[in-house]
Amino acid sequence: MAIRYGLLSTHPPTRCGLATFNAALADSLTTSGARTAIIRVAGDGDDEIPDHTTDVAHTWPVRQADGWRDAADALNTFDVAMIQHEYGIYPGADGADVLRLMRRLLVPSIVVLHTVLSRPTPRQRSVLEQVVATAGAVVTMTGTARDRLVAGYGVEPAKVTVIPHGAADLSTVPVIRRPRPHLLTWGLLGPGKGIEWAIRAVAQLRSLDPVYTVAGRTHPKVIERHGEVYRSGLHRLSAELGTSHAVDFQNIYHDRAALGALIRSADLIVLPYDSVEQVTSGVLVEAVAAGVPVVATAFPHAVELLTNGPGLVVPHRNPRALAGAIRRVITKPQVLADRIRRPDGAVLGWPAVAARYATLADRLLAAGTRTVIGSAA
């Protein structure tokens, strides 16, 4: 009999990394024969999805004081609860209400950690340690995240499994090269994305005459707090540096087909992120799986995946180093040619990733593992 998964997360039409990840994982589990339904976490400003829609079994509005209770009861109607964890999506101090939900569960839970901070606040550390203690199993998407979790938090190492972030299969998407070198960054924009450093790098690459595509809308939470200040600043910077003709801002949210075609048209993916904490990047995994070279700043996931791999890592906030790495990849493609291996796409593809989650769920069910039942107060 097919396992029934209840997946707790933000979910489309919410536009964020967790929502995209959760939808892809649910689709892949369903394709493999499992039964899945979404317990959707809906924040203020999210488009509401009625509970009777096809894939959403229940919606937890975060402004509802005891919403965690009904969400837990909804998860209890499935065989396994799969919980996406990020501090910012659940109500309570540092998202602590997810603990109330987990302590009410009567079924095994798998918690997927999207962030593991190297320098958490005391409360962030406490919340994450309790999440891990209460879960039946915990997944990190990189070895770096697992090592950081085990070394820096009071957790049981045996509970932690590394399963990589999944990626779409773009092998059937035609490769259409442009007449000028095509550099690409995509994803929701906001401070910390580092696009300003990439624009400054493009200004140093006039002899290559590149086109730099910046694809994606501004993050909804950034718009809510600051409007389009960041994007407007990028436009001004590009004009000041004389790169307006070379930078193509696409202020749209690409669907899967359009994004796949855009990725396959790129000669190089540029990830100039400011973060020194980021242990998981779906964009990085998509690029590697698609077989496109990457130049990235030294955030943890990039260091792990690109060192001696299909890309180059450069220091943060250093446009000269960024420009040098881009020039090297564009003018000497053989530098990375032997590192770009198509098997990576198969290993990182969603079918393979979903199969590993299914194996973990089978193991929990076979062991009769349940989450720790305690006070839900």
Residue 346 has pLDDT above 80, yes or no: no
**Domain co-membership, 160 together with 21:** yes
pLDDT score, position 45: 62
Q: Average pLDDT of 136-160?
A: 97
The pLDDT-based confidence of 377 (bands split at 50, 70, 90) is very low
**Domain co-membership, 293 together with 361:** no
Q: Hey, is 166 helix, strand or coil?
A: coil
Q: Which of 27, 140, 126, 34 is nearest to 78 (CA)?
A: 34
The pLDDT-based confidence of 261 (bands split at 50, 70, 90) is very high
The pLDDT-based confidence of 376 (bands split at 50, 70, 90) is very low
pLDDT score, position 43: 81
Distance separating alpha carbons of residues 92 and 111, to the nearest angstrom = 18
Q: The domain containing residue 313 runs over which residues?
A: 182-345
Least confident stretch, 36-45, 109-118, 287-296, 317-326 = 36-45
Print burial letters for 246-264: b (CB count within 10 Å at least 16), e (below 16). Answer: bbebeeeebeeeebbebbb
pLDDT score, position 54: 67
pLDDT tens digits, one per residue of 241-258:
999 999 999 999 899 999
The pLDDT-based confidence of 308 (bands split at 50, 70, 90) is confident
**Domain co-membership, 259 together with 356:** no
Residue 199 lies in a domain: yes
Strands of 191-232 (E only): list them.
211-215
- CATH number for the domain including 227? 3.40.50.2000
Higher pLDDT, 335 or 283: 283
What is the phi-psi region of residue 203: left when phi exceeds 0, alpha when psi lies from -120 to 50, beta otherwise? alpha
The pLDDT-based confidence of 126 (bands split at 50, 70, 90) is very high
Distance separating alpha carbons of residues 377 and 167, to the nearest angstrom = 39
Mean pLDDT for the chain?
92
**Domain co-membership, 186 together with 320:** yes
pLDDT score, position 348: 86
pLDDT score, position 374: 37
Q: 294 - beta bridge partners?
A: 269, 311
Q: For the chain, how many structural domains are there in total?
A: 2
Q: With contact defined as beta carbons under 8 Å apart, do 234 and 214 qualify?
A: yes
The pLDDT-based confidence of 221 (bands split at 50, 70, 90) is confident
Residue 207 lies in a domain: yes
Residue 174 lies in a domain: no
Residue 69 has pLDDT above 90, yes or no: yes
Distance separating alpha carbons of residues 109 and 88, to the nearest angstrom = 20
Torsion 289-294-296-298 (CA) sign: positive
Q: Which of 66, 69, 89, 87 is nearest to 16 (CA)?
A: 89
Q: What is the pTM of this model?
A: 0.92
pLDDT score, position 15: 86
Residue 55 half-sphere exposure toward CB, CA atoms < 13 A: 18
Residue 10 lies in a domain: yes
**Domain co-membership, 362 together with 262:** no
Residue 375 has pLDDT above 50, yes or no: no
Amino acid present at 56? V
pLDDT score, position 371: 47
The DSSP secondary structure of 38-52, one letter per residue, reads: EEEEE-TTPPP--TT
CB atoms closer than 10 angstroms to residue 137? 24
H/E run at residue 233: helix 229-241
**Domain co-membership, 190 together with 152:** no
Q: Average pLDDT of 29-41?
A: 96
